[in-house]
Structure 1
Amino acid sequence: MSKLKQTIKIITPDTTISTQDRGLNYGDGFFTTASVVNSVVEHWDLHKARLEECAQRLFFPELDLTAIEREVNHAISDTQTGISKIVITRGAGGRGYGLPDTPSIQVLISIMPAVSHYKSWQQQGVSLAVSDVKLAHQPLLAGLKTLNRLEQVLIKKQMSSLECDDVVVLDYDNNVIECSAANLFAIKDGQVMSPKLDRCGITGVYLSALCDKLAIEFKAIQLDELLAMDAVFMCNSLMGVVPVARIADTQFDIECSKALLAAQFAKESV
């Protein structure tokens, strides 16, 4: 499919979007959320790669990423620390679920304040429960950050009744997949590992960045295996790496966890 029309909007209180937009009606789109530090988007190359992969796998036309990058940089020029969210939809058009012959890609850029409590999480660790809401398998969408996030909405709703900072989310085979809005990785006997995301879940940008610094093995992990790890961490682009202090009734020594992770970084940097 050739490159077609692309409209970029920096979101303000006066921004409007068509009620016929396919992102609004069908979740026909994708997004990425990035940390802004000193007016620079962290891991921008990986965020661009995510947008490219989503566009290709969802049969969007080729994105004009140069124009998107220019507008993002303009939007964050006065932001020392914050969050940039880029939402991309297929725009309005098509009959029902059918794709429009000439899609009009909509790019919506939002700038938001940074999340204040992540720094304390990094120092003190987090407490995780296990979610009763499980993820369905759909390999065609696995790894992608699409606009279809109703599973996560239900996960957050159930989480609100629990005494925890976040939850471990499983699939219907009871494999560990992720947290409500972050990836998981763990250390066992000197090996770093993370759940396979080939049937469901989201491949996070921060996890991808860690793969450049750590030798991470992606494998099926059951809950009992996760609980037996020497250290467990959650991560995403906004929180960075956060040690897990507790999962259900299992405790982890976060100072030991931090030391184990530091040793892994030191080993891989040699």
Structure 2
Amino acid sequence: MEISHRDRGLSYGDGFFTTIKVENEALQLWPYHLQRLQQCQQALHFPELDEQALLEACQNAIKGCHLGVLKLLITRGEGGRGYALPEHIDLTVIVSKSEFPSHYAQWQAQGVSLSVSNVKLGHQPLLAGLKTLNRLEQVLIKEDALGLSGDDVVVLDLQDNVIECSASNIIIVKNGQLITPNLALCGIRGVYLSLLSDHHDIAVEAISMTDLMNADAVFMCNSLMGLVPVKSIDKKTFNLQTALELKTKIEISL
């Protein structure tokens, strides 16, 4: 499809998206993805979404797909010059499909090593938790990660609180309690974290680097990779076998 040069998603990042795992022509965790889209729609004052039309567009795009990734992106559509909302809003919906990352299975089985990103997240509570099109911080984080060791990075905020990884949430385990960072000021609340929270008692707390390094186990998660154990952060190592056993216990109830 052609996108107008006046589309507000292109001009201002005025939109949001979700990334969905596709298995055997089925949209995994669709109710959670739809809930995410609705939260963005309401927070950004978009018109109400046509849920059935979105579902049909996604289902048409994944016909014949055994394993893949579907991206559903929604913008506020075309607008005139300036930031003010257009009088008439005709949403732009873009559905695209890509191959499933081949390394995720290895990450789940063997764990990942992390470094700490030099790029820190700013605070904007109005957008915190939402997966908007404004992802320049993540672009800089990915670029910074190229110069660091490890498979991915831990990302902090301006107050040095642990927030997330480059494209996933963080969960730590301490004395049997699952804990995830407070995302009231920044970060994205992922679909898989929402799924886990519906089945497990996950505390939401401020997590410092000291808390992270002293955890009994650390995981990162998103809707594509699922739950992935962390085997090291910089020079700190974690017991991979313990993490794998915890991973099995956590996932068995999903």
Would you call these one fold, judging by a TM-score over 0.5? yes
For each residue in 1:85-115, what CA deviation from the matched residue of structure 2 results, as whole angstroms up to 9, or x when unmatched? 0010001114311110111100000011111
Q: Is 1:194 aligned to residue 174 of structure 2?
A: no
What secondary structure is seen at the aligned counterpart in 2 of 1:201?
A: coil
- Letter paired with 1:118: Y
Task: Please tell me whether the aligned partners of residues 20 and 71 of structure 2 are also in contact (alpha carbons under 8 angstroms).
Answer: yes
Residue 168 of structure 1 is matched in structure 2 by 154
Residue 243 of structure 2 is matched in structure 1 by 257
What secondary structure is seen at the aligned counterpart in 2 of 1:45?
A: helix
CA distance in 1, matches of 2:104, 2:212: 23
2:217 equivalent among 215, 219, 231: 231
Give TM-score scaled by structure 1 length. 0.92
CA distance in 2, matches of 1:236, 1:65: 23
1:177 equivalent among 145, 158, 163: 163
CA distance in 2, matches of 1:89, 1:263: 39
- Letter paired with 1:151: E
Residue 57 of structure 1 is matched in structure 2 by 43
Deviation for aligned residue 1:61: 0.3
Q: What RMSD in Å do the two structures reach over aligned CA positions?
A: 1.2
Residue 66 of structure 2 is matched in structure 1 by 80
What secondary structure is seen at the aligned counterpart in 1 of 2:118?
A: coil
Q: Is 1:20 aligned to residue 15 of structure 2?
A: no
Percent pairwise identity: 52
Matched length: 254
Task: Please tell me whether the aligned partners of residues 155 and 162 of structure 2 are also in contact (alpha carbons under 8 angstroms).
Answer: yes
CA distance in 2, matches of 1:181, 1:145: 11
CA distance in 2, matches of 1:264, 1:104: 42
Deviation for aligned residue 1:253: 1.2
Deviation for aligned residue 1:263: 3.9
CA distance in 2, matches of 1:181, 1:82: 17
What secondary structure is seen at the aligned counterpart in 1 of 2:120?
A: coil
Give the alignment of 1:91-240 within 5 angstroms. 91-240=77-226
Task: Please tell me whether the aligned partners of residues 231 and 257 of structure 1 are also in contact (alpha carbons under 8 angstroms).
Answer: yes
- Letter paired with 1:125: G
Moved segments of 4+, more than 6 Å:
none
CA distance in 1, matches of 2:197, 2:80: 39
Give TM-score scaled by structure 2 length. 0.97
Gaps of 5+ in 2: none
1:35 equivalent among 21, 36, 40: 21
Task: Please tell me whether the aligned partners of residues 22 and 93 of structure 1 are also in contact (alpha carbons under 8 angstroms).
Answer: yes
- Letter paired with 1:249: K
For each residue in 1:157-195, what CA deviation from the matched residue of structure 2 results, as whole angstroms up to 9, or x when unmatched? 110011111000000111000000000001110100100
For each residue in 1:6-49, what CA deviation from the matched residue of structure 2 results, as whole angstroms up to 9, or x when unmatched? xxxxxxxxx21001100001000000001001110100000000
What secondary structure is seen at the aligned counterpart in 2 of 1:211?
A: helix
Deviation for aligned residue 1:264: 4.8
Residue 243 of structure 1 is matched in structure 2 by 229
- Letter paired with 1:59: H
